[in-house]
Chain A
Amino acid sequence: MSVAKKFLYVNRKAPYGTIYALESLEVVLIGAAFDQNVSLAFLDDGVFQLAKGQDTKGLGVKNFSPTFRALGDYGVTKLYVEKESLAERGLTEDDLMPVTYEDENDGFAEKPSLIFVDRAELARVMRDQDVVLSF
């Protein structure tokens, strides 16, 4: 029996200019099958991935932002968002889409997945991991 390790996926890129954001999400979905303790961090331009109202019809590429809302089904319920990164980009918490999960241990109560942390808190979250994967 192996003990579940703590994995953190660090997202620092905006969603459509490069493939990093989509690749990260795909790896998270695949990795979630392995029953590890997985969480995500969004900082720097990574916070743009969670922006409300994304519509890629005009680009002809997939809008993958709704998939973040499926992460709860995969047991991924902690999405850390850095407050300073939001502020630097003129964003507030209200500019992000709501992401929630259903807590099986609490009668499927719907709870928020986004956890807003400051830079110092996020640094401690990063140091608390067994594995940090960067995108």
Chain B
Amino acid sequence: MTTLHMVNKSPFERNAMKSCLAHALEGDGVILFEDGVYGAVKGSAVTGDIQGKAGAVKVYVLGPDLAARGIADGRLIEGIKVVDYPGFVDLVTSHERTQSWL
């Protein structure tokens, strides 16, 4: 009974990603897209929030949103998986429910 959590706001502007990670349970997925992808970059003030959940929660990031913002895959936090749009849809269907963090 897992949830796909969806975060589309920058973690530097809002607490959506932080609150999401604090409520995600073992086996849940988190997809970062739109401005949410800034949370996927290593070496930032919020990197630790994601690393703290490594293992329990699987984190995904939407590739086209990374590319649009000039973020190369090499700058991502270890363990984060890049997905394309069909991959995003697959994630939605492979979890029991979705929950947006606005």
A interface vs B, CB < 8 Å?
10, 12-13, 20, 43-44, 119, 122-124, 126-127, 129-132, 134-135
Contact = CB atoms under 8 A, between A and B. Distances in A.
Leading 10 A-B pairs by shortest Cβ distance? A134-B100, A132-B99, A123-B23, A44-B19, A123-B25, A134-B102, A127-B25, A132-B97, A127-B3, A119-B22
A134 B99 contact: yes
B51 interface: no
A129 to B, nearest CB: 6
A12 B9 CA distance: 14
B102 A135 contact: yes
B15 interface: yes
Nearest to B24: A123
A44 B15 contact: yes
A126 B23 contact: yes
A127 B29 CA distance: 12
- Determine the interface band of chain B, counting residues with CB < 8 A from chain A: 10 to 19
A13 B23 CA distance: 16
Nearest to A43: B19
B1 interface: yes
Given A44-B15, A132-B3, A126 B22 contact: no
Contacts of A12: 16, 19, 101-102
Nearest to A84: B22
Contacts of A129: 97
B3 A126 contact: yes
B47 interface: no
Given A123-B24, A123-B25, A132 B98 contact: yes
Given A127-B1, A127-B3, A132-B3, A10 B19 contact: no
